[in-house]
Chain A
């Protein structure tokens, strides 16, 4: 039997040829491990979209009102970076949004984690808080904005309180489920090794719940980032969401598009950062 021609490294990297592992398989349809990255097509679609944008800008196919030209977008980015937007620098707009998210998540965790632990460990605490948590859980944070404006006005407290609520229930539920997921043989082993209740809480239940608490933190970060932008659209004079809203009022479509791109990039960066933290801090996740 003659050897088949080996595909090049480049073709494998681009996902155009089977690698040595998938080449051995006789059936590939239905086998998820035989589906490769298809990088070639990813590159194709990104380049294609950029090319389309360049082309439409050159030929003036779309009115600037609907979609900015590539040239004016880059000009605007330069302007935003050097002069800011409405007397506030771009970094300040981004910074204030990120600051609000982190504050909300931190406050939510500080209250939510002990609350979730109490609910997972005590019948009294579970009975007491369960109706509130289960009632609040399905309510989208945005629906609370009108009430929060009535209570706190539109200053910084209002926004951080909204984000606190958004993360509070996620963190509570994550901590509660982390506590309930502890395997009884681990708890029994700790008792047989002479541990007290407090030691079991500190040395068994807490570390056991950390992976789920961290998943809760990641989800909260994502939800709060979405919520902060939306909240700023409604009522704020700083922040990336308010920048988009004000720019819309001045028909600055390019600023709107840039704002959207920034929101996407930062949301993605938060997710990557949290995954990195998770791998670093909780390497035992899923290994129990």
Chain B
């Protein structure tokens, strides 16, 4: 099967003073090509660790991740990343940031220039190409980060709370953009988020993770991402089905948090 296979991945961090943290315990997950999977869970459930293993920045203690049948051993340009913030190169302009990947690969300038212009149009920043990135607002910076990632035409996009630092209104607008880019490009996307609403709205599949040790608690198959292109976001988010799922997952995560608190004090 093409896509991502996460096969019995465990991750144990050894602490400098001795002692171990079981960040992930025997996590398995198959992600089909072109799927948008959102991952949700309380802090400490290992969701960022999982993403870093898929990205190739961490080697799992046991198990492996395969992308199109090839075992992941390190980072690679077929897996693009979008970080929360501060991962843009502030010494470059918007255009230069977007062109970074193609330039590193030594692609012809004219071709890159055309591609960059097209991507800036897509994310709504065509007038900002010459600007230094630090002059842009937080939401615009994340648009640049998305465009920079797409410029490399990766198979998979890994998003580590890409909208986490944005204000509520900008965030909602950006969710629409992510959805639109996913539909247009057909990329496989893994999205880590703290927001239940965002995970429900964007994910075709929603993975709820639980902490201590980090594991997959539940997997939901969701219809909302497909609806997202035809109906308005507010309409979807106010629907009875959506609200019911949201409350269900929220209370599940609440219980996990309570349990952690109980362990900590008890």
On chain B, the residues within 8 Å of A195 by CB distance are 100, 104
Contact indicator A196/B89 (Cβ below 8 Å): no
Q: Which of B77, B84, B86 has a CB less than 8 Å from the CB of A193?
A: B77
Given contacts A185-B87, A186-B87, A287-B134, contact A193 B152 (CB under 8 A): yes
CB-based contact B89/A194 at 8 Å? no
A58 interfacial contact with B, CB 8 Å: no
The closest CB in chain B to the CB of A186 belongs to B87
Are A288 and B101 closer than 8 Å at their CB atoms?
no
The CA-CA distance from A188 to B104 in the complex, in Å, is 14
**A98 on the interface (CB 8 Å rule)?**
no
Q: For B132, give its contact among A186, A190, A191, A284 (CB under 8 Å).
A: A284
Q: Are B75 and A191 in contact (CB under 8 A)?
A: yes
CB pair A194–B104 under 8 Å, yes or no, is yes
A210 on interface, CB distance cutoff 8 Å:
yes
**A-B pair number, CB within 8 angstroms:** 74
| Majority-rule SS of B interface residues | loop
Q: Would A193 and B91 be within 8 Å (CB), given that A183-B86, A186-B86 are in contact? A: no
Residue of A185, A192, A199, A210 with highest tally of chain B CB at under 10 A? A192
Residues of A within 8 A of B105 (CB): 194
From A183, A203, A210, name the one whose CB has the most chain B CB atoms within 10 angstroms: A203
Q: How far is it, in angstroms, between the C-alpha of A208 and the C-alpha of B152 when the chains are bound?
A: 22
Say whether, besides A193-B77, A193-B80, A284-B134, A188 and B87 are in contact (CB < 8 Å). yes
A185 and B86 CA atoms in complex are apart in Å by 7
A127 smallest CB distance to B (angstroms) = 19
Q: Is there contact, CB below 8 Å, between B90 and A192?
A: no
- Whether B104 and A196, one on each chain, are in contact in the complex, defined by CB atoms closer than 8 angstroms, is yes
Q: Which of A185, A203, A208, A288 contacts B104 (CB 8 A)?
A: A203
When chains A and B are docked, how far (Å) is the Cα of A208 from the Cα of B87? Answer: 12
Cβ-based interface call for A204 (8 A): yes
Cβ–Cβ contact B90 & A287, under 8 A: yes
| Bound Cα distance from A121 to B97, whole angstroms | 24
Provide the residues of chain B in CB contact with A284, threshold 8 Å. Answer: 90-91, 132, 134
Measured between beta carbons, the chain A residues less than 8 angstroms from B101 are: 193-194
User: How would residues 135 to 156 of chain B score, 1 for a CB under 8 Å from any chain A CB and 0 otherwise?
Assistant: 0000000000000110010100
19 of the cross-chain contacts (CB-CB < 8 Å) are A183-B87, A185-B83, A186-B88, A188-B55, A188-B75, A188-B83, A189-B81, A189-B148, A190-B104, A191-B75, A192-B77, A193-B100, A194-B104, A199-B104, A210-B91, A284-B90, A287-B134, A288-B90, A288-B134
The 8 closest A-B pairs by CB, nearest first: A194-B77, A287-B134, A193-B101, A191-B75, A185-B87, A207-B91, A192-B81, A284-B90
Interface residues of B (CB under 8 A from A): 55, 57, 74-77, 79-81, 83-84, 86-91, 100-101, 104-105, 132, 134, 148-149, 152, 154, 158
